Amino acid sequence: MAFNVKVEGEADIQKALEGKQKEVEEVFIRDLNEGADIVIVSAKSKIHNISGHLSESIDKNEVREKNGKVDIYVGIAKNEWFSKEDKYYPRFVEKGTSKAKAHPYLRPALNENKKQIQSNIEADIKALTGGEK
């Protein structure tokens, strides 16, 4: 699940951030990791299962591409519970099936916390550029 952050005043921001590329990257990665942690806690609180395997399997994964892009994904980690035959179970819980009602946990967790994550990023970037936090 991904979302984008819209940046307004791009020219002013670019000027204020000149020479601070490494610091900006560190702020984004830290804030996205913290945001992923918030989403994980929220998603786990929404799961209604007895065994706890689904809840225990929610994790994050940081992916760095050669072009410098960093993505942090929140989802189900491959493990002994959700490997071969059961690998679709988490998706069936989230989306439902023709015979079972959906019990969304990931999408609502992201939607509930998206504004807070964006606010944290904005505040930290403002602090980096000399603005208020």
Instruction: Provide the residue ranges of all domains of the chain, joining segments of one domain with +.
Output: 20-128
The dihedral region occupied by 68, where left means phi > 0, alpha psi between -120 and 50, and beta the remainder, is left
Q: Measured on CA atoms in the order 37, 43, 46, 48, is the torsion positive or negative?
A: negative
What proportion of the chain, given as a percentage, has pLDDT over 90? 37
Per-residue pLDDT at 98 exceeds 90: yes
The answer to whether 24 and 125 are in contact (CB under 8 A) is yes
For residue 90, the model assigns a pLDDT of 86
Higher pLDDT, 48 or 118: 118
> Which of 29-43, 74-88, 115-129 shows the highest mean pLDDT?
29-43
Higher pLDDT, 93 or 78: 93
CA distance 41 to 34: 11
What proportion of the chain, given as a percentage, has pLDDT over 70? 79
Q: What is the pTM of this model?
A: 0.78
Per-residue pLDDT at 1 exceeds 60: no
The closest alpha carbon to 110, from 64, 58, 56, belongs to: 58
Q: What is the average per-residue pLDDT within 66-81?
A: 79
Whole-number average pLDDT of the chain? 83
Q: How confident is the model at residue 101 (pLDDT cuts 50, 70, 90)?
A: very high
Q: What is the average per-residue pLDDT within 61-85?
A: 77
